[in-house]
């Protein structure tokens, strides 16, 4: 199956101290190296006109920009998601980034959105509702979220926390199903 929008919040490798390492707790999910992320094949999920929405942090922004062309997409804009408070060793990091990339030709449902999102964080790794609203107003269906932590109506959401499978296995399963079988085949 091919998608018009792919949202990814990858389990970036731990490259700096975090809220979890300060308290000597492990990350709440397994992380992947840059090589493992680069090996994820989005070609079976995308087609001309597909949009890629990629979440990243300050520390992983250079890696995210390297991955985009490896996955077959062209960078267009970086949208800071600004929260009222942050943490960090040298800077109080109050922004994450939602990168928008695409495969030509570029087409949008609606244009002219601001290039930032203000939000109040919820639990760890939960993305702001405003980001989903933005994606749904720009990118057509069908939409998929990889590394998802919860279901979202109107989206196919896959990830170890939902399916219990590795993301590579989830992508293989999604690639082999039809639009009418999404709800039953991915459970």
- Spell out the per-residue pLDDT of the chain, length 187, in tens: 999 999 999 999 975 444 444 333 454 567 899 999 999 999 999 999 999 999 999 999 999 999 999 999 999 999 999 988 877 788 888 899 999 999 999 999 999 998 999 988 776 667 899 999 999 999 999 999 999 989 999 999 999 889 988 888 999 999 886 544 444 344 3
Q: Is the pTM of this model over 0.95?
A: no
**What is the CATH code for 5-185?**
3.40.50.150
Give φ, ψ of 114 to 5 degrees.
-65, 155
Nearby residues of 11 by Cβ (< 8 Å), 6 or more positions away: 27, 29, 30, 31, 32, 147
Residues 172 and 103: their CA atoms lie apart, in Å, by: 21
Residue 89 tokens read as 């060793």
3-state secondary structure of 41: coil
CB distance 170 to 187 below 8 Å = no
Residues 128 and 26: their CA atoms lie apart, in Å, by: 24
39 class by beta-carbon count within 10 Å (0-12 exposed, 13-18 middle, 19+ buried): exposed
Give φ, ψ of 93 to 5 degrees.
-80, 105
Nearby residues of 156 by Cβ (< 8 Å), 6 or more positions away: 3, 142, 143, 144, 145, 174, 182, 186
């Amino acid at each position: 199956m091919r998608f018009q929008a792919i949202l990814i919040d990858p389990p970036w490798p731990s490259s700096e101290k975090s809220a979890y390492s300060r308290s000597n707790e492990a990350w709440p999910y397994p992380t992947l190296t840059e090589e493992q992320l680069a090996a994820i094949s989005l070609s079976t999920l995308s087609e001309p006109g597909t949009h890629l929405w990629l979440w990243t942090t300050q520390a992983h922004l250079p890696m995210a920009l390297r991955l985009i062309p490896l996955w077959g997409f062209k960078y267009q804009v970086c949208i800071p998601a600004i929260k009222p408070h942050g943490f960090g060793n040298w800077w109080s990091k109050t922004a994450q980034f939602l990168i928008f990339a695409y495969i030509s030709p570029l087409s949008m449902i609606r244009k002219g959105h601001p290039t930032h999102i203000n939000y109040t964080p919820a639990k760890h790794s939960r993305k702001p509702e405003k980001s989903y609203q933005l994606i749904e107003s720009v990118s057509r269906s069908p939409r998929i979220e990889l590394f998802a932590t919860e279901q979202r109506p109107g989206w196919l959401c896959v990830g170890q926390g939902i399916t219990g499978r590795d993301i590579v296995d989830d992508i293989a399963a999604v690639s082999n199903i039809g639009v009418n079988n999404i709800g039953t085949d991915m459970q």
